[in-house]
Amino acid sequence: MKAREKAIEVRGLKKRFGSLEVLKGVSLTAHEGDVIAIIGGSGSGKSTLLRCINMLEFPSEGSVAVHGETISMKSDTRKGMCPADQRQVQRIRSRLGMVFQSFNLWQHMTVLENVIEAPIHVLGQKRGEVIERAEKLLLRVGLIEKRDVYPSFLSGGQQQRAAIARALAIQPHAMLFDEPTSALDPELVGEVLSVIADLGKEKRTMILVTHEMKFARNVASHVVFLANGVIEEQGPPEAIFEAPQSERLRKFISSVH
């Protein structure tokens, strides 16, 4: 059986904001087709880890590699660590689909315009082909009838599904989800989780920060429990949720059930 390629590899990642060390040496590997759920309490460093992978935050130490290509960093006396080659970051970032808590749709563009913007204007793809692909994606997330609607006329669940279609439109190597349901009303959570679960069935590489434990248990192939900036425990969902080893993880699971 052919070994799966490493889609994302994080090594010894540290992130400091002034004197506060949010990540304290995190190492994590997502192979092709992995669905990794990152769980943990508020302030444990989950979102910071995701933002460092996508270089929205620059690591203070450590390395991030996407599809075997390590993002080169340099030390700057003013900024600390920062990318040595901004073009490399832009190229790698253009192959990572990111879905945020707060949708981040462009309000002055229709749903379709949101989805086609990056493939046409960042990746330079042909408009006709991009629109055809975008319409298939909108059909897939149940929004084809909303293609010409502006985000302010959509529910939160619809906006997040549009954001997922927009992230998929760049044909990413991997998808990153930062608490994609945390800003939604409870009755809208299911429709977004259903779309993400379908992506998982396609063996699409995904790393998602989530507080939806049932979803993490049912959809993830691997669960990482982050606490105080370190990986306290990780493993397959059944091991994490049915036989947690650390007292901190046991307490966390009992507090969210």
The more confidently predicted of residues 117 and 77 is 117
**Mean predicted confidence (pLDDT) in 89-102:** 92
Q: What is the pLDDT of residue 2?
A: 65
**Mean predicted confidence (pLDDT) in 46-73:** 95
Residue 257: band (very low, low, confident or very high) from pLDDT cuts 50, 70, 90: low
- Residue 148, φ and ψ in degrees, nearest 5: -100, 15
pLDDT tens track for 125-166? 999 999 999 999 999 999 999 999 999 999 999 999 999 999
Query: β-pairing, 35-39 with 206-209?
Result: parallel
182 contacts 209 by C-beta, under 8 angstroms? no
**Mean predicted confidence (pLDDT) in 215-227:** 96
Whole-structure pTM over 0.85, yes or no?
Answer: yes
Query: β-pairing, 206-209 with 80-83?
Result: unpaired
Question: What is the 8-class DSSP label of residue 141?
Answer: T
* 77 has pLDDT over 90: no
Of the candidates 118, 120, 233, the one whose C-alpha atom is nearest the C-alpha of residue 165 is: 118
CA distance between the termini of the chain: 38
* 59 has pLDDT over 90: yes
Share of the chain above pLDDT 70, in %: 98
Of the candidates 214, 197, 134, 135, the one whose C-alpha atom is nearest the C-alpha of residue 167 is: 134
How many CA within 13 A on the CB side of residue 105? 29
Tokens 């692909």 found at: 133
176 contacts 10 by C-beta, under 8 angstroms? no
**Mean predicted confidence (pLDDT) in 66-84:** 88
Residue 81: band (very low, low, confident or very high) from pLDDT cuts 50, 70, 90: confident
Q: Which two tokens stand for residue 124?
A: 């330079």
CA 104/CA 37 separation, integer angstroms:
22
Q: Mean pLDDT for the chain?
A: 94
pLDDT tens track for 37-56? 999 999 999 999 999 999 99
Q: What is the pLDDT of residue 1?
A: 59
For domain 6-95+173-256, give the CATH number.
3.40.50.300
Q: What is the pLDDT of residue 206?
A: 97
For the chain, which residues make up each domain, given as ranges? 6-95+173-256
